[in-house]
Amino acid sequence: ELEEKISKGNNQASTSASKLRSTRWFNERNNQAMSALYVDRYLNYGLTYEELMSDKPIVGIAQSGSDLAPCNRYHLETAKRVREGIVAAGGIAIEFPTHPIQESSRRPTATLDRNLSYLTLVEMLHAYPFDGVVLLTGCDKTTPAALMAAATMNIPAICLNVGPMLNGYMGKNLIGSGTILWKARELHAAGDIDDGQMIDMVTRGTPSAGHCNTMGTASTMNALAEALGMALPGSAAIPAPYRERLQIAYKTGTQIVEMVRADRKPSDIMTREAFENAIVVNTAIGGSTNAPIHLNAVAKHIGVRLDLNDWDNLGYGQPLLLNVQPAGEYLCEEYYRAGGLPAIIAELLAHKALPHPNAITCTGQGLAHCAKEEGQSWDRRVILPYDKPMKTNAGFLHLTGNLFDSAIMKTSVISEEFQHKFLSNQQDPNAFEGKVCVFDGPEDYNARLEDPATGIDGRTILVMRGVGPLGYPGAAEVVNMHAPARLLKQGVQAMPCIGDGRQSGTSGSPSILNASPEAAAGGNLAILKDGDRLRIDLNKRTVMLLLDDQELQKRRESLEQNGGFKVPESQTPWQDIFRREVGPLSEGMVFPSAVKFQRLAQK
Ligand code: FES
Ligand code: MG
């Protein structure tokens, strides 16, 4: 009977479109034993051989939610609706777990696992009979890991965000997840709140299922997945608990089956044009400083040229339209009610600020089309008009100089205090000079910040080094530092910070971040000493260490004689492998050895 089925299957496969990767998979023409082996375990939970051979697309549901990844945990529910959508559209759904990446609790840092999750997802998509995949995303690194894998594999793929949490409140005040932590940390350091009050304040920011309800890295990356065309229009901003979240999950399931039938692949969607759109959108929403790292990584894996100068050229100079924390005051419920991303795109379109309105999305239609259909509702307190924005000239500056080759600064979060203290008081309104206080990692910062011997005053530039991809495997989100308690008590909040690590997307600090090469890779941050002076010129996009060439040379020689910048030993095998393979933050922190594998499904 099995033989009969197999020969029937063979006939079906040869007469119908055996274009499907899965059909070819289950139909080893010259080796029926292998065909039997490949199908038997899919049958043992109730799938029939006829289903597998009936030219129904087999669609993976890449499940990133679990008890270990609470931000994405609600996907245990959304996946059921995705599955129903896939089946209703004539597909077969196969759900499988991805490596969890919980931003807020993974030690030493969740970013260490972005490339691990990417690698394992590529292996799964490559090694099993998928015709397409629904990527369940949410928490910061789950989204770029999924997009990177979709890029490398290049089978039809669509993202479904888990959605942000509901608003948090303290009394009538909105409390945003992540963002409140930075405020609470300052109040705690100044002695204004005790340990219990700190926990209470911070946990009020996380009142429901979902990812961060601020415009942190999670909201940013999911908005950018939608802007790239890799998620259904209007899907990214829907709060996790809203009914629309399960409805869009169902539609995502039906859409992926259509995409498989149309053979619409990531390389058709994630083009140079799509990335240019995403950069402009990132400025308009006040997106995270992690966005350039992740989007540049995705671009590398799909083979699109993209670098930090593109972010400065295309993204800086656009206005900030979205009034959501940390750059603004509201949270993602208001963002969704104001129209979500389609309303932002509609506003950009109306002012001819979206570079490529016709860039193809997962629906097969251009990005502009998505905005017109969905972008009708407005709340002008939350999504501001293009000509009366929250801020003009928002976006990132790409800085260079003799301290590093490359670093970025988010201008939409420059506060009035910062502007007044560091930028406006001088002859040149966009440049300032100051002496530095240098910390070797967060442990050193915590140990020494309050020590009066550091001599930190209200105009000191705080430097954090040894926290890049090599120094602190994965690159820690620790560059946004606060002033010592004695200064906080005097009301000093804005401190310029520079570092070779990252900062949380929920932070409103205008730090100079992601400096490459990092100290551990031999960058000049490694030779910086307390009391050195820096000149930061935002117009010229430079950060200069004010030392003559002779002194620079002397310090570099002595660094080399002492065996280079010291970093802690790797604690796990993965940390060790990561350090051997990884490239700098300026290049997306990808593994160059992985980038050469492209479009695997077509090979
Ligand atoms: Fe998961 Fe912010 S910690 S989204
Ligand atoms: Mg983060």
> What pLDDT is attached to residue 447?
97
Distance between CA atoms of residues 336 and 176, nearest Å: 15
* 16: pLDDT strictly greater than 50: no
Environment class of 575 (CB within 10 Å of its CB; exposed 0-12, middle 13-18, buried 19+): middle
Of 376, 371, 410, give the one whose Cα is nearest residue 508: 410
Task: Please tell me the residue having the least CA distance from ligand 1 atom 2.
Answer: 212
Instruction: Decide: 178 in ligand 1 pocket, CB within 6 A.
Output: yes
> What pLDDT is attached to residue 429?
78
Proportion of the chain above pLDDT 90, given as a percent: 83
| Probe residue for ligand 1, chosen from 140, 179, 502, 507 as the CB with the greatest number of ligand atoms within 8 Å | 140
Distance between CA atoms of residues 368 and 360, nearest Å: 9
Smallest-distance ligand from the CA of 71 = 1
Which value, to the nearest 10 degrees, does the dihedral of the CA atoms of residues 11, 95, 113, 228 take? 80
Tell me the pLDDT tens digit for each residue of 324-346. 999 999 999 999 999 999 999 99
Distance between CA atoms of residues 246 and 238, nearest Å: 10
Q: Which atom, in ligand 1's list, is nearest to the CA of 506?
A: 2
Tell me the pLDDT tens digit for each residue of 135-191. 999 999 999 999 999 999 999 999 999 999 999 999 999 999 998 998 898 899 889
Instruction: Decide: 332 in ligand 1 pocket, CB within 6 A.
Output: no
Task: Please tell me the residue having the least CA distance from ligand 1 atom 1.
Answer: 139
Query: Tokens 């820690």 correspond to what residue?
Result: 476
* 357: pLDDT strictly greater than 80: yes
- The DSSP H or E segment spanning 275 is helix 272-285
End-to-end distance of the chain based on CA atoms, in angstroms? Answer: 34
Angle of helix 573-581 relative to helix 114-127, nearest 10 degrees, comes to: 90
Instruction: Decide: 215 in ligand 1 pocket, CB within 6 A.
Output: no
Tell me the pLDDT tens digit for each residue of 52-96. 888 899 999 999 999 999 999 999 999 999 999 999 999 999 999
Q: Ligand 1: distance of its center to the CA of 579 in Å?
A: 25
What average pLDDT does the segment 208-213 reach?
98
Tokens in use for 53? 């051979």
Q: pTM of this prediction?
A: 0.95
Smallest-distance ligand from the CA of 219 = 1
